[in-house]
Structure 1
Amino acid sequence: MTATTATPAQVAAAYFETWRARDFAAFRALLADDATFSGPLGRAADADECVAGIKGMSQIVTDIVVDRIVADGADVITWFQLHTSLADPIPVANWSRVENGLITRIRVAFDARPLTSGPVSA
């Protein structure tokens, strides 16, 4: 699979595979230089900021479980469970735009309160 032959759904799947593997060089290769990110924990104005954000988030991420990837043309919605060291798994919706085999825009929606209110006690 190359960037020019990959479907938007395949690019989105690779995004999560490279994030889970903490392969940040491969993760970066999936992003257009001007890719943007917007979510409840931050924003990124370009691909390098996107990678920095994922690297930071990866410090607390213990797993990423993709439940469903749905593509409609260049738009891909990925529903996944974000497992972290701070909270029970959190359901997340990730909306990515894929153009010419690269992700150009990422929008994420989830309830961030479990991650911002401190450790969960057992």
Structure 2
Amino acid sequence: MSATTGSAQKTARAYTEAWMNKDIDKALAYVADDAVCKAPNGTFEGKEGFQTFIGPFAGSLNGATLIDVLGDDTHAAAVYTLDAPFANDFPGMDYITVKDGLITQVLSHFDLSPLIQAGGNPQH
């Protein structure tokens, strides 16, 4: 990414802030009908798939902090930390692709070491 502002950055920020505030309906308004989310616990397709992933995930959090969103007009990276039941300041990042103002793909990455250290299963 060569720019630090753009339409994808704005969409990614709005989407991320929405799910961090547990407003799943608002978050889904930024997602294309045929979007794909690839996360550590699987691949989720379409708005229904996103809701299956992000609804329970966001609902389980004790808090979240958006560090930054960098992007251009087609791609953005949202970097954040999460307060999860098993660890605080749990780092994560989403690489988001946007087309025609809607998210078409999210590659969601997390440092799973806090979960593993807490004795959890990274597949759930």
- Category of TM-score, reference length = shorter chain: 0.7 to 0.9
Amino acid at match of 1:68: D
What TM-score does the superposition give when structure 2 sets the normalisation length? 0.82
3-state secondary structure, aligned to 2:88: coil
Q: Aligned partners of 2:79, 2:58: CA distance in 1, in Å?
A: 18
Which stretches in structure 2 are left out of the alignment for 5+ residues? 1-5
Figure out how many residues of one structure are paired with residues of the other and give that number. Answer: 113
Give the C-alpha shift of residue 18 in structure 1.
Answer: 1.1
Give the C-alpha shift of residue 72 in structure 1.
Answer: 3.0
Q: Aligned partners of 1:67, 1:110: CA distance in 2, in Å?
A: 14
2:22–2:59 Cα contact (<8 Å) kept: no
Amino acid at match of 1:99: K
Match of 1:3 in 2: none
1:27–1:51 Cα contact (<8 Å) kept: no
1:82–1:89 Cα contact (<8 Å) kept: yes
Match of 2:24 in 1: 24
Which stretches in structure 1 are left out of the alignment for 5+ residues? 1-5
Q: Aligned partners of 1:58, 1:67: CA distance in 2, in Å?
A: 17
Worse-superposed segment, 12-21 or 28-37: 12-21
1:63–1:82 Cα contact (<8 Å) kept: yes
Q: Aligned partners of 1:92, 1:20: CA distance in 2, in Å?
A: 12
Match of 2:112 in 1: 112
1:94–1:107 Cα contact (<8 Å) kept: yes
Pairwise mapping of residues 59-98 of structure 1 onto structure 2 (< 5 A)?
A: 59-98=59-98
Amino acid at match of 1:94: D
For residues 19-44 of structure 1, the C-alpha deviation after alignment (integer angstroms, 9 at most, x for no partner) is 12221211111100011001212220
User: In percent, how many aligned pairs have the same letter?
Assistant: 25
